[in-house]
Chains A and B, each alone.
Chain A
């Protein structure tokens, strides 16, 4: 215990170890936060969801903070709903069971480009007589543009850009342009806009609610992808997946390698020989090709890939170096003593041989995590990522498939790439420091 405390104190002498520990700590916090904020089933639902989940978001939208770094301000997305009071709604009862419903929303528009799209989702309650709405658009310079007049069913959607009647009324101009442009200067009119919805219902108990979705050019903290998905979900969930894959693969490989090496050296003879031969055969096998084949032909589940990775990583060069150390340990006095009092083989291997190696295991454990994290990302980039789980590699793969680099959606690649890189560096920095601490040969150099 004291030994461990000393080691920890020594770790803090290395600046790179402190940076590495901080990064790993932040990653763990992110992973825990992600799992609490978005439970697993919810994350899968969001990640696999289509338009029905993500209709409110623009496509290919960079994160909103991009406006800080650019003189050209891009419109931010928002959604307001009369049902939850974010749009003002007044009901004026009229004659013969009818009533007039006024829904309106004011918003400031001080941006330099047009939004992607605007939508209104109507929800109407009625028995037989459909309510009727007319929608108007008020610009900062005082013009009033009639958008559309229509009878609405229980669920009705109005896409501004796809409204034929609106386009005709605007003389064939793009609605997004025409609605935000000052006709005199042909520049974007900045200022306060108002959306006015005037509805009429013809039955007692009939009601209208409207949701106004403004799809700007930027969205949230992380942006969106080709399917309008908020990239925050896979960015957050990538952390637990990457940590789990990296740590389980690294721990599984090292512990199994160590046990097999200990058993081999303890029993010697044909057991040892067999392990050596398997190691040589494994050297001939093409590691990445086999993983790609498993992914292509058999299963893309992250757990299958994890298992195969561990199995293929056990019988490598490290089993030989462990064997060399175990051969020395096997001759020590305390093993002799254990044998003399009649300890079983099992007891000697697991209680005497392996515990001696744990200090040597720690640096290797930490240092090999990045390789496994990037292995998962590599497979995802080749299109062999887990089809269900949101991971950082999957984001890069999606971005790559949609030509993000050619079309300039840099945020899409840079965000997951930065996280992957930070994770890799964090573990590598700590691993290097640990290696120098636990490996006395390296301590002074």
Chain B
């Protein structure tokens, strides 16, 4: 996770001309509108790519024809029908199946329907995928996989965020120390993505030492006792969570540490030191306070990341989360599921970006909502 610099306008307070209410209201409307348009265009592009200009339709049509012809070929009762009747039946089944999937409508109409459905969060039904309970509702598929992703990403991302901010603060206090140099030396380890560490962890802890499982979320069959079940899940959680953490750990600490160091070399911090203020006060009032907007931004983006899941890490560890579901959905040409997970992410991002502007104004007295 990189430390994102603040991207919203930070303006120095000027004498207020119009009333605060009008300014905030106008800002809210304009900002919400631009964000909504952004989401609409983003989702529409995703839908376009998910259809590949009708290229995917061709694949799906052939797929359906293949499957239904195969079904009839394997059906003993169908063998007894006359060739003509059977052919008619096959053609009718293919048409029915194509209508069910929605292939009878032109691509543009379908894309538009996808868009309006997605924007109203009417996620509809999946084409091929089913949830664990057997439902084809996209909502249920996503909700069914959400807990696994929340558990994995929540554990690792929150741990990563808080531990790296705290360690970075203490490192920035003792910069140049042995630990500081160690973190700098180890920060290139983050060039390697989490799934890569995952493969190594599987090799060491599952294949060689046999102490932790290769993948999955529980043993099969899962233990029935709730305590055993929780412990079992925990055992399966260790490796994927560890690989997600290790791959960002040192770089994250390094980035935060550098960020805090830049702020602690400001003149007002030197001034506070010269005045003889205690170190803790300097840290809380003079370093943490002005960096708060950035910390909050990163925390908010971390939370969104928790929900979107990790496609490859989940695939490597066979973790039944949203990332792996998305990958499976793409493999099955399941546009509703792809669009469904994208729209949720897009909405969350837009809402977060919108709310952050207000949060900045709350934590930083120099920032005014909609001030120019």
Q: A interface vs B, CB < 8 Å?
A: 16, 277, 280-286, 288-290, 292-294, 296-298, 317, 320-321, 370-371, 374, 377-378, 381-382, 396, 405-406, 408, 410, 413-414, 417, 420-421, 424-425, 427-429, 431-432, 441-442, 445
Interface string of B169-204 (1 = CB under 8 A from A): 000000100000000110111111101100110110
**Please, which residues of chain B bring their CB within 8 A of the CB of A321?**
5
Alpha-carbon gap, A280 to B40, bound state (A) = 12
**Please, which residues of chain B bring their CB within 8 A of the CB of A288?**
311-312
Alpha-carbon gap, A372 to B4, bound state (A) = 20
> Contacts A280-B38, A293-B330 given: A396-B350 contact, CB under 8 Å?
no
Q: B326 contacts which of A289, A420, A441 (Cβ < 8 Å)?
A: A289
Which 10 residue pairs of A and B lie closest in terms of their CB atoms, listed nearest first?
A: A284-B42, A428-B188, A428-B191, A370-B191, A424-B191, A284-B346, A445-B261, A297-B52, A280-B38, A429-B188
Q: B188 contacts which of A16, A320, A417, A442 (Cβ < 8 Å)?
A: A16
- In the complex, the chain B residue whose C-beta lies closest to that of A430 is B188
B282 contacts the other chain (Cβ, under 8 Å)?
no
| Contact between A292 and B327, CB atoms less than 8 A apart | yes
Instruction: State the majority secondary structure of interface residues on A.
Output: helix
Query: Of B43-51, B84-92, B117-125, which binds chain A?
Result: B43-51
| Contact between B191 and A405, CB atoms less than 8 A apart | no
Extra contacts, 4 of them, besides A374-B196, A441-B262 (Cβ < 8 A), are A280-B34, A281-B38, A370-B191, A417-B200
B168 contacts the other chain (Cβ, under 8 Å)?
no
| Contact between A294 and B200, CB atoms less than 8 A apart | no
> Contacts A284-B43, A320-B7 given: A289-B338 contact, CB under 8 Å?
yes
**Please, which residues of chain A bring their CB within 8 A of the CB of B38?**
277, 280-281, 284
Tell me how far the C-beta of B107 lies from the nearest C-beta in chain A, rounded to whole angstroms.
Answer: 13
Alpha-carbon gap, A320 to B341, bound state (A) = 27
| Contact between B203 and A297, CB atoms less than 8 A apart | no
Alpha-carbon gap, A72 to B46, bound state (A) = 56
B55 contacts the other chain (Cβ, under 8 Å)?
yes
> Contacts A289-B311, A405-B202, A410-B203 given: A425-B42 contact, CB under 8 Å?
no
Alpha-carbon gap, A16 to B182, bound state (A) = 12
| Contact between B331 and A285, CB atoms less than 8 A apart | no
> Contacts A277-B38, A378-B195, A382-B312 given: A289-B175 contact, CB under 8 Å?
no
Alpha-carbon gap, A406 to B203, bound state (A) = 9
**Please, which residues of chain B bring their CB within 8 A of the CB of A381?**
195, 312, 316
A sample of 28 inter-chain contacts (CB < 8 A) reads A16-B188, A280-B34, A281-B38, A281-B45, A284-B346, A285-B45, A289-B311, A289-B326, A289-B330, A289-B342, A290-B49, A293-B50, A297-B56, A298-B52, A317-B4, A317-B7, A374-B191, A374-B192, A374-B196, A382-B327, A405-B203, A406-B214, A414-B203, A420-B196, A424-B192, A441-B262, A442-B258, A445-B265
Alpha-carbon gap, A99 to B188, bound state (A) = 70
Q: A298 contacts which of B55, B193, B261 (Cβ < 8 Å)?
A: B55
Alpha-carbon gap, A374 to B312, bound state (A) = 12
- In the complex, the chain A residue whose C-beta lies closest to that of B39 is A284
Q: A445 contacts which of B45, B191, B262, B338 (Cβ < 8 Å)?
A: B262
**Please, which residues of chain A bring their CB within 8 A of the CB of B52?**
293, 297-298
Q: B193 contacts which of A281, A293, A317, A374 (Cβ < 8 Å)?
A: A374
| Contact between B330 and A16, CB atoms less than 8 A apart | no
Tell me how far the C-beta of A228 lies from the nearest C-beta in chain B, rounded to whole angstroms.
Answer: 24
| Contact between A297 and B311, CB atoms less than 8 A apart | no
Alpha-carbon gap, A374 to B311, bound state (A) = 14
| Contact between B46 and A378, CB atoms less than 8 A apart | no
Q: A378 contacts which of B59, B184, B193, B206 (Cβ < 8 Å)?
A: B193
Alpha-carbon gap, A424 to B194, bound state (A) = 13
B298 contacts the other chain (Cβ, under 8 Å)?
no
Alpha-carbon gap, A42 to B38, bound state (A) = 48
Tell me how far the C-beta of B243 lies from the nearest C-beta in chain A, rounded to whole angstroms.
Answer: 13
- For chain B, residues 319 to 364, give those with C-beta under 8 angstroms from any C-beta of chain A: 326-327, 330-331, 333, 338, 341-342, 345-346, 349-350
| Contact between B342 and A286, CB atoms less than 8 A apart | yes
**Please, which residues of chain B bring their CB within 8 A of the CB of A428?**
187-188, 190-191
Which of B43, B188, B199, B207 is packed against the most chain A CB atoms within 10 Å? B188
| Contact between B311 and A425, CB atoms less than 8 A apart | no
**Please, which residues of chain A bring their CB within 8 A of the CB of B41?**
281
- In the complex, the chain A residue whose C-beta lies closest to that of B44 is A281
| Contact between B46 and A290, CB atoms less than 8 A apart | yes
- In the complex, the chain A residue whose C-beta lies closest to that of B310 is A288
Which of A285, A428, A442, A445 is packed against the most chain B CB atoms within 10 Å? A445
**Please, which residues of chain A bring their CB within 8 A of the CB of B199?**
396, 405, 413, 417
Tell me how far the C-beta of B336 lies from the nearest C-beta in chain A, rounded to whole angstroms.
Answer: 14
Tell me how far the C-beta of B335 lies from the nearest C-beta in chain A, rounded to whole angstroms.
Answer: 10
**Please, which residues of chain B bring their CB within 8 A of the CB of A293?**
49-50, 52, 330, 338
Alpha-carbon gap, A289 to B337, bound state (A) = 12
- For chain B, residues 231 to 265, give those with C-beta under 8 angstroms from any C-beta of chain A: 258, 261-262, 265
- In the complex, the chain A residue whose C-beta lies closest to that of B41 is A281
B131 contacts the other chain (Cβ, under 8 Å)?
no
| Contact between B187 and A432, CB atoms less than 8 A apart | yes
B218 contacts the other chain (Cβ, under 8 Å)?
no
**Please, which residues of chain A bring their CB within 8 A of the CB of B214?**
405-406
Alpha-carbon gap, A19 to B71, bound state (A) = 61
**Please, which residues of chain B bring their CB within 8 A of the CB of A413?**
199, 203
**Please, which residues of chain A bring their CB within 8 A of the CB of B193?**
374, 378
Alpha-carbon gap, A431 to B190, bound state (A) = 12
Alpha-carbon gap, A321 to B203, bound state (A) = 41
Alpha-carbon gap, A410 to B195, bound state (A) = 17
| Contact between B203 and A445, CB atoms less than 8 A apart | no
| Contact between B330 and A292, CB atoms less than 8 A apart | yes
**Please, which residues of chain A bring their CB within 8 A of the CB of B185?**
16
Alpha-carbon gap, A374 to B195, bound state (A) = 10
Alpha-carbon gap, A442 to B258, bound state (A) = 8
B315 contacts the other chain (Cβ, under 8 Å)?
yes
Tell me how far the C-beta of A188 lies from the nearest C-beta in chain B, rounded to whole angstroms.
Answer: 27
| Contact between A297 and B42, CB atoms less than 8 A apart | no
> Contacts A292-B311, A298-B52, A382-B315 given: A284-B350 contact, CB under 8 Å?
yes
Tell me how far the C-beta of B325 lies from the nearest C-beta in chain A, rounded to whole angstroms.
Answer: 11
| Contact between B346 and A417, CB atoms less than 8 A apart | no
Alpha-carbon gap, A317 to B7, bound state (A) = 9
Q: A408 contacts which of B195, B202, B207, B308 (Cβ < 8 Å)?
A: B207
Alpha-carbon gap, A292 to B7, bound state (A) = 29
Tell me how far the C-beta of B174 lies from the nearest C-beta in chain A, rounded to whole angstroms.
Answer: 13
Alpha-carbon gap, A288 to B309, bound state (A) = 12
Alpha-carbon gap, A38 to B49, bound state (A) = 38
